[in-house]
């Protein structure tokens, strides 16, 4: 695979990212499909821990400070993303986290603290590489589209793992219409936020990540009101 990726012009960092995520997909398939008496929440929690450990190890092994900075920002933002999920499930009653064998944070399953790291790291990594290769304008477009594809795909598929699901709202398949624009906003805001703090302290990263979370939460509430109440 490394030889093929090198032949089509991928950098060493890009090749490593593809290999890491290919390996993680294989681990995820094996763990999810394994005939063990383990609840879905525990399996997802293990996958979240494995993904974060892999990113840390690869960043350390490569001595790649930007990789580690990107992982840290994504992980911090993932923790803060519990608040929007909690609000949508407990206050608006439009998101459900069923009993899955894992501890809850309010109404939110515990693995969600780290699950957002997976799509966020991928989106931010691709955005950074596109900007380096081409331009900021093209990176903005790619980040927006990738956010729509990854987050929308998650909405469409993860319910099959007895994960969260939406209710009492307008749906296309298993995708909630109101959340599509806010998820694009999240991807773009996270990318811009990371660009501001990637060489700053952990405190700076936490402050900006908290601001990005609030922007996403506000956007989700606004578009819920527009789609479900006004249209």
Secondary structure of 173-191 in HEC code, one letter for each residue: CCEEHHHHHHHHHHHHHHH
- Residue 132 has a CB neighbour count (10 Å cut-off) of 11
What predicted TM-score, i.e. pTM, was given to this entire model? 0.94
Comparing 30-34, 51-55, 139-143, 214-218, which segment has the lowest mean pLDDT? 30-34
Helix 180-197 vs helix 136-157: crossing angle, to nearest 10: 130
What is the structure's pLDDT at 1?
Answer: 53
Question: Quick one: 3 exposed, middle or buried, by C-beta within 10 A (0-12, 13-18, 19+)?
Answer: exposed
What is the structure's pLDDT at 4?
Answer: 45
Q: How confident is the model at residue 5 (pLDDT cuts 50, 70, 90)?
A: low
Between CA 73 and CA 147, with CA 78 as vertex, the angle to 5 degrees is: 85
What percent of the chain stands above pLDDT 90? 81
Q: pLDDT tens digit string along 55-106?
A: 999 999 999 999 999 999 999 999 999 999 999 999 999 999 999 999 999 9
**pLDDT, averaged across the chain:** 92
**Residue environment code for 27-53, b if the CB has 16+ CB neighbours within 10 A, otherwise e:** ebeebeeeeeeeebbbbbbbbbeebbe
Q: pLDDT tens digit string along 172-190?
A: 888 899 999 999 999 999 9
Q: How confident is the model at residue 162 (pLDDT cuts 50, 70, 90)?
A: confident
The residue-averaged pLDDT of 111-117 equals: 96
Give the CB-side neighbour count of residue 35, counting CA atoms within 13 A: 0
Q: Is the pLDDT of residue 6 over 60?
A: no
User: 231 CB contacts (<8 Å, ≥6 apart)?
Assistant: none
Q: Is the pLDDT of residue 9 over 80?
A: no
């Amino acid at each position: 695979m490394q030889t093929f990726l090198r032949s089509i012009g991928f950098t060493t960092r890009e090749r490593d990212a593809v290999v890491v995520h290919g390996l993680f997909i294989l681990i995820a398939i094996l763990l999810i499909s394994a005939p063990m008496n383990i609840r879905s929440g525990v399996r997802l929690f293990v996958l979240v821990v494995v993904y974060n450990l892999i990113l840390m190890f690869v960043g350390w092994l490569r001595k790649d400070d930007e990789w580690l900075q990107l992982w840290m920002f994504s992980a911090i933002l993932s923790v803060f993303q519990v608040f929007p999920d909690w609000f949508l499930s407990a206050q608006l009653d439009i998101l459900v986290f069923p009993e899955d064998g894992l501890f809850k944070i309010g109404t939110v399953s515990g693995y969600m603290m780290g699950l957002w790291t997976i799509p966020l790291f991928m989106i931010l990594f691709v955005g950074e590489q596109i900007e380096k290769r081409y331009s900021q304008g093209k990176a903005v477009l790619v980040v927006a589209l990738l956010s729509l594809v990854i987050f929308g795909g998650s909405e469409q598929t993860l319910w099959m793992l007895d994960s969260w699901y939406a209710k009492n709202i307008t749906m296309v398949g298993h995708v909630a219409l109101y959340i599509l624009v806010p998820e694009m906003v999240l991807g773009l805001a996270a990318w811009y936020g990371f660009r501001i703090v990637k060489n700053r302290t952990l405190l700076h990263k936490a402050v900006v990540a908290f601001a990005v979370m609030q922007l996403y939460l506000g956007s989700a509430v606004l578009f819920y009101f527009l789609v479900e109440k006004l249209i």
